[in-house]
Structure 1
Amino acid sequence: MKTRKKVLIGLVITFVILSIAGWFGWQKLHYPPAAEAVSAVENAEDKGDFFYFPGEEEKPLVIFYPGALVDAESYSVWASALADEGYAVAIVKMPFDLAVLGGNRAVKVLADAPQTTYVIGGHSLGGVMASRFAANESDGVEQKLAGVFYFASYPDEKGSLADRDLPVLSLIGSRDQIVNHDNWQSAKDYLPDTAVFKEIELGTHAGFGTYGEQRGEEPTDLTNSEQQQIIADTMAEWLSSLSK
């Protein structure tokens, strides 16, 4: 009995040590929001599972999945600017900041949304998982899917929209050194022929959020505030075209 108790205590101690080490490792790897994003998120309602920037009910709701290891708050700058144009934005919070662990969380957003239509998209890995949600719309979702968008991202086979009659916007930065450009190019086979592709001159991968520089990427002359405004303007233009 004593031996068994010692083994059990040893396992518990090991688990605690590994949990603490994993937590500190995650803290070191993930990207917290910059001060501008922390300020901008104050314009949103914290719904628990997502941040909601209010907009007009007759316009499509914008559901957004963050990139891997990036806090949801980090996308508040462009989201707040887009909400000023009348488009409600819901930035989904992901478990451990990984959309792959919460790909179906848009259902929670839609269950609380007054809008009758919505678009969904995301940044990097978030865009992959948003595309999967769009390709396999869940039962019980009453709202109509009006479009899909990608920020420095692309669909995989599970998220293929090639056979869907959906408006698609793909936005990428010309200085993005994180996205796999070969995969981004070949993934066009998973998109409708009508997909719109736009490039932000001097834009970076990290520039789609406001969390500082991304590891592996070089600085650019385009400021974060400039890229954020371009994103908001481009999204507003695309969203307005959906009703035409």
Structure 2
Amino acid sequence: MNKVKKIIIGIISTIAVLLVVAAGWVHFSTYRPSASAQRVARSAQHVDNTTIFPAKHNKMTVIFYTGALVAPDSYSIWAKQVAAAGYSVKIVHFPLNMAFFNVNAADKLAGKNNNYVVGGHSLGGAMASRYAHNTHNKHLRGIFLLGAYADEKGRLDKTNLNVLSITASHDKVLNWQKYQANKKYLPKTTSYQTIKGGNHGGFGSYGQQKGDGQATISNANQQKQVASLLINWLNKVSK
């Protein structure tokens, strides 16, 4: 019996150590918001694991799924600009900053009778497309992808959703081969836009991402372009 107890204690101890190591890895691997993004984030509301930039006269709600291991406030700069144009933005905080831990997060944030769109960056975009594929909420009007693509589990080619896909010319994190191949999972009416000189990390504001290309435009410039492209698209979707 004592031997069994020792084995059990050993297993529990090993699991505990692995969890601590994993938590430490996630903490030190997470991309943190830039000083500029942190300043902007202070003007947001932080409610129930969500960073919210409310619009004074909300035309439609924008729910955003973050990239893998990217802190939510890293997207504050373009989010505030979109909110200023009349679209409330809700940035989801995921466990360990991984969107696949709560793919249906948008259901809680959408509201019962409010039109909304959902979008995401990188892994967050893939999970947002899976959400859009599975949801039955009739108020979902569209989805946008930032440096991301839909996979077969998130295929939207048989839906009537408005879809916007934004890429950056210097993005070296995005798997471009899969991006091109997976266009088949998006509607033929999808709008494709490219930010010249931008990179993968530039869809947020958190510094240079490992393996990414070097942007030839400033982060502020890319943030402004992301906001502008989203606002133009939202103006069409909200009509």
Question: TM-score normalised by the shorter chain: which range applies?
Answer: over 0.9
With over 3 angstroms needed to count, the CA separation of the structure-2 counterparts of 1:34 and 1:132, relative to structure 1, is: same
1:242 alignment partner in structure 2:
237
1:186 alignment partner in structure 2:
181
Moved more, 211-220 or 52-61: 52-61
1:128 alignment partner in structure 2:
126
Extract structure 1 runs of 4+ deviating beyond 4 A: none
CA displacement, residues 181-229 of structure 1 (integer Å, 9 cap, x when unaligned): 1111111111111111000001100000111110012322211111001
For 1:80-99, what aligned pairs fall within 5 Å after superposition? Answer: 80-99=80-99
CA RMSD for the aligned pairs? Answer: 1.7
Name the CA distance, whole Å, in 2 between partners of 1:106 and 1:83.
18
Task: Give the CA deviation at 1:16.
Answer: 2.4
Amino acid of the structure 1 residue aligned with 2:193: K
Q: Normalised by the size of structure 1, how large is the TM-score? A: 0.92
1:153 alignment partner in structure 2:
148
CA displacement, residues 87-116 of structure 1 (integer Å, 9 cap, x when unaligned): 1000011111111111001111124x7x62
2:209 to 211, 214, 236: 214
1:15 alignment partner in structure 2:
15
1:196 alignment partner in structure 2:
191
Name the CA distance, whole Å, in 2 between partners of 1:166 and 1:205.
25
Name the CA distance, whole Å, in 2 between partners of 1:191 and 1:62.
20
Amino acid of the structure 1 residue aligned with 2:69: L
Q: Contact conserved, 2:54 with 2:88, CA < 8 A, in 1? A: yes
2:114 alignment partner in structure 1:
116
Moved more, 57-66 or 147-156: 57-66
Moved more, 8-17 or 205-214: 8-17
Task: Give the CA deviation at 1:2.
Answer: 3.6
Q: Sequence identity of aligned pairs in percent?
A: 39
Q: Contact conserved, 1:49 with 1:108, CA < 8 A, in 2? A: no
Name the CA distance, whole Å, in 2 between partners of 1:26 and 1:148.
28
Q: Contact conserved, 2:58 with 2:86, CA < 8 A, in 1? A: no
Amino acid of the structure 2 residue aligned with 1:182: Q
Q: Normalised by the size of structure 2, how large is the TM-score? A: 0.94
Name the CA distance, whole Å, in 2 between partners of 1:210 and 1:76.
8
Aligned length: 239
CA displacement, residues 115-147 of structure 1 (integer Å, 9 cap, x when unaligned): 620011100111111111111114xx4x61111
Moved more, 27-36 or 161-170: 27-36
- Runs of 5+ in structure 1 lacking a partner? none
1:226 equivalenced with 2:224 (yes/no): no
- Runs of 5+ in structure 2 lacking a partner? none
Task: Give the CA deviation at 1:29.
Answer: 2.1
2:103 alignment partner in structure 1:
103
